[in-house]
Amino acid sequence: MRIDIITCLPALLEGFFSTSIVKRAMDAGTVTVNIIDLRDFGIGKSRQIDDYAFGGGAGMVMMIEPLVDAIEHLQSERSYDEVIYMTPDGELLQQQITNTLSLSENLMIVCGHYKGIDERVREKYITREISIGDYVLSGGEIPAAVLSDAIIRLIPGAMNDETSALTDSFQDDLLSPPVYTRPADFKGVKVPEVLLSGNFKLIEDWRTEKALERTKERRPDLWKKTL
Ligand code: ADE
């Protein structure tokens, strides 16, 4: 898979992708993440990428020309499964969306800043708009990193334990059961006996029960879906 991310803060994303768990996948060659500096397509000597909003009001808008030039430059080299714009008014990111996107070959992600991007870019080039939650961040870089991380870790070979991503919370609309590691007795607080039993059937049943219990208690909205 290849993910191309257009941003005006490349250093922020380069830092994330050069140190995080997804670097493994990049080193193994399963994923390439390519960061594109929007300023390389900026206008004039100052490499301008934003301008005042028509109609007035506070806040700048990302200009149409640099963004379209960057998108078209990328599109001239390969076709994309999706051109995604990270925005608080997009569809709310859910596990199901990352599952689908993890099957893509090429993804392009556009990070917004200021008041956002010119609406005409959204209409003509963006195929999907995604929000990572009902709050507003100062830019689309962290959302792009969140989305990429959630996708990349689903790609076989990207993680230490390939089966692990399939047992995550949300894969079956249930939260994950509690987990424990050594020591079995920490200052008198013991690991549940069943986990030490070596009986895999019993352990599986216990995990399912705890997952259901936790979901019912913490996320009644998800719990209703499992009924
Ligand atoms: N850009 C700013 N806030 C955002 C959010 N919540 N989700 C996606 N992109 C954003």
Nearest atom in ligand 1 to 136's CA:
3
What does the DSSP assignment read for 95-147? HHHHHHHTT-SEEEEEE-BTT-B-HHHHHHT--EEEESSSS--SBSHHHHHHH
User: Which pLDDT belongs to residue 165?
Assistant: 78
What are residue 189's DSSP bridge partners?
186
Distance CA 223, CA 227 (A): 7
- Which residue CA neighbors atom 10 of ligand 1 most closely? 87
Alpha-carbon distance values, 217 to 135, 169, 174, 177 (Å): 24, 14, 11, 12
What's the DSSP call for residue 21?
T
Find the 90 Cα to ligand 1 centroid distance in Å. Answer: 8
Report whether residue 132 contacts ligand 1, using a CB cutoff of 6 Å: yes
Instruction: For this complex, say whether ipTM is above 0.95.
Output: yes
Binding-site residues sit at: 112, 132-137
Low-confidence residues of the chain: pLDDT under 70: 160-163
What does the pLDDT read at residue 20?
76
User: What domains can be seen in the chain, in order of their start residue?
Assistant: 2-152 (3.40.1280.10), 169-226 (1.10.1270.20)
Confidence at residue 172, expressed as pLDDT on a 0 to 100 scale: 85
Rounded (5°) CA angle 162-143-221: 75
**142 CB less than 6 Å from ligand 1?**
no
Q: Distance from the CA of 28 to the center of ligand 1, in angstroms?
A: 30
